[in-house]
Amino acid sequence: MSVPRFHLAIPVDDLGAARRFYGEVLGCPQGRSADSWVDWNFYGHQLVTHLAPRNPDAHNPVDGHDVPVPHFGLLLGTVQFDELAERLRAAGTVFVIEPYLRFAGEKGEQWTMFLRDPAGNALEFKAFADDDQVFAV
C-alpha cells in the first residue's frame, strides 16, 4: 500500500514568479509543466500552480494573529521547520505571521509560520514537538 499524499491545485498569476518561489526559494523539484501550469514535488505531495486570477484576501483571528483563509500547509519535522524558516529569511521573505511557538508546554505544542507565494496564496508550515499530538484535543 502506498503512502497517501495530497494533490492540491492553486491559482497563480505569474508562472515565472511561481517557478522562482517554489523551485528556488522553497527548493521544490519541478515536475511536468505546460504553458499554463507547473507540477511541484511539495515535500512528497503534488502541488500544481495554474495560471488563474488571484484569490480574495480573507482572514480569521487566531492567537492574536490574522490567519489567512484560505490557506494550505505542510507538517514538517522540527529540524526541517527550522531549516525552512532560515531559508525563507535568507531569501528576504515577508512573513504574514513570523515563525512562533503555539501551546508551549501544552498538548499539541507546535511551531507555525505563514507566508504568501508571489500570487498571494497563503501557505502555513508547522512542526509539532510530538507528532502523536497532531490531533490532540
| pLDDT tens column, 95-127 | 999 999 999 999 889 999 999 999 888 999 999
- Averaged pLDDT for residues 17-29: 96
Per-residue pLDDT at 137 exceeds 70: no
120 pairs with which residues across the strands? none
Mean pLDDT of the chain: 89
Please report the pLDDT score of residue 3 as a whole number: 66
**What Cα–Cα distance (Å) separates residue 34 from each residue in 11, 13, 46?**
14, 14, 15
Please report the pLDDT score of residue 1 as a whole number: 45
* Domains within the chain, CATH numbers bracketed: 7-51 (3.30.720), 59-133 (3.10.180.10)
Per-residue pLDDT at 25 exceeds 90: yes
Question: Cell for 110?
Answer: 507546535
Which pTM value belongs to this model? 0.81
Per-residue pLDDT at 9 exceeds 70: yes
Assign 78 a pLDDT band (cuts: 50, 70, 90).
very high
Other CB atoms within a 10 A radius of the CB of residue 26 amount to: 22
Q: Which of 72, 55, 65, 87 is CA-nearest to residue 7? A: 72
Per-residue pLDDT at 56 exceeds 70: no
